[in-house]
Structure 1
Amino acid sequence: MPVLIDFWAAWCGPCRAMAPQFEQAAQMAPDIRFVKVDSDAAPLASQRYGIRSIPTLLLVKGGQEIARQSGVMPAAQIVAWTRQYL
């Protein structure tokens, strides 16, 4: 199952703006696992994936990163962006 990871932080305004969009996208695409990673709480995960800005979406399939996108997106765009790589 593909996994879409949202790297975010509580202090990040754009991250807070994207949170409800990410939740809505998860409801629109039940065949994709949606996961949120707090960059402050999990700095090693952010370091491992080379996260330089937040929010950043990371699409992983079969344990491999297949796409990355930074910035706020509406739910429909998140789903469309994800589907183009699957």
Structure 2
Amino acid sequence: MGMNHTYTDKEPTRDEVDSLDGPTVIEFGTAWCGYCRGAQDDIAAAFEDHSTVRHLKIEDGPGRRLGRSFRVKLWPTLVFMRDGQEVERLVRPADAQSISRALSQIDS
């Protein structure tokens, strides 16, 4: 587990996400998004202390069901989940500390 560096267009279903055990972060965005690219160093720094957290990096856009089910409007959006339940959400996170704080809420 730990940080995933590549967006995938193969998204799980919402039912699959809701049934995940343990801590999970879903990152919605795209490889070409400037905000998404700009956040990667902060996301990587935050994940250094949380290597057991599952990181799903999902390409989002029109017609993408998983992003719509989470009502994603801006990229990157990080959804922090524990046992399939959303605990925290960060939209366009500004620093590694805010991401680390959110990771601490799900990774105990």
Within 5 Å, give how 1:1-86 maps onto structure 2: 1-40=22-61, 43-84=64-105
CA contact (8 A) 1:7 1:39 kept: yes
Q: Distance in 2 between matches of 1:41 and 1:21?
A: 26
Give the 4+ runs in structure 1 shifted more than 3 A.
none
Larger radius of gyration, structure 1 or 2? Answer: 2
Report which stretch shifted further, 51-60 or 4-13: 4-13
Greater strand fraction, Structure 1 or Structure 2: 1
Residue identity in the other structure for 1:63:
G
TM-score under structure 2 normalisation?
A: 0.66
Could you list the runs of 5+ residues in structure 1 that have no partner in the other structure?
none
Could you list the runs of 5+ residues in structure 2 that have no partner in the other structure?
1-21
Residue identity in the other structure for 2:40:
A
- Tell me how many residue pairs correspond in the alignment: 86
Identity among equivalent pairs (%) = 26
CA-atom RMSD, angstroms? 2.2
